């Protein structure tokens, strides 16, 4: 008899499952943050700022001063987070596949592949739905253009 233990725990499948679940959660949070209200200024504030910029620009031009450098754009980490989540989803699919290849217990490996693939599909379907809604909006605007312009 041999005293070696049969180590058939799902190491790759478990790691893939956890990464896939995190990827789906991050994609879900990222997509819900897409509709979060953004801080917008009123029309009066925008017009006032434009007028102040024009006045300052005219004063600089008359005094011969060079224009100031434009302010640096604000950092937006949403694309980096989305790319990271999609990389986690790809890693989950790969680890699930490795787990299936190494004949680990199948449920966790299948769930790892499923969670990873669902993160990709969720992201793709969301942007496809946004695209379809945008096209429908453009079509309705074009169809009602004569009513808008009074023709």
- What tokens appear for 21 in the block? 């679940």
Confidence of residue 5 (pLDDT cuts 50, 70, 90): low
Residue 120 has pLDDT above 90, yes or no: yes
Note the pTM of the prediction, 2 decimals: 0.70
Cα gap 45→6, rounded to integer Å: 71
HSE, side-chain direction, 13 A CA sphere, residue 78:
11
Give the list of residues 6+ apart from residue 95 with CB closer than 8 angstroms, or none: 12, 13, 15, 16, 19, 112
The pLDDT of residue 4 is 55
Give the start-to-end residue ranges of the domains of the chain. Answer: 11-36+78-149
> What b-and-e string marks burial along 23-46, b requiring 16 or more CB atoms within 10 Å of the CB?
bbebbeebbeeeeeeeeeeeeeee
The pLDDT tens digits of the residues spanning 33-46 come to 877 777 777 777 87
115 in Cβ contact with 23 (< 8 Å): yes
The pLDDT tens digits of the residues spanning 133-148 come to 999 999 988 888 777 6
19 in Cβ contact with 91 (< 8 Å): yes
With a pLDDT cut of 70, the percent of the chain lying above it is: 92
- What is the DSSP annotation of 95-124? HHHHHHHTT--HHHHHHHHHHHHHHHHHHH
């Amino acid at each position: 008899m041999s005293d070696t233990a049969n180590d058939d725990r799902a190491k790759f499948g478990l790691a893939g499952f956890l990464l896939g679940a995190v990827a789906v959660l991050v994609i879900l949070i990222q997509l819900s943050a897409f509709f979060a209200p953004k801080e917008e200024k009123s029309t009066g504030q925008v017009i006032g700022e434009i007028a102040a910029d024009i006045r300052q620009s005219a004063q600089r031009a008359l005094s011969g001063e060079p224009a100031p450098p434009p302010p640096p754009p604000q950092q937006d980490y949403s694309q980096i987070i989305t790319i990271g989540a999609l990389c986690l989803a790809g890693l989950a699919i790969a680890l699930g596949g490795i787990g299936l290849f190494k004949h680990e217990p199948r449920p966790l490996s299948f769930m790892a592949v499923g969670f990873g693939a669902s993160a990709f599909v969720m992201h793709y379907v969301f942007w496809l739905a946004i695209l379809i809604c945008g096209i429908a909006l453009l079509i309705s605007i074009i169809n009602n253009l004569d009513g808008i312009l009074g023709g």
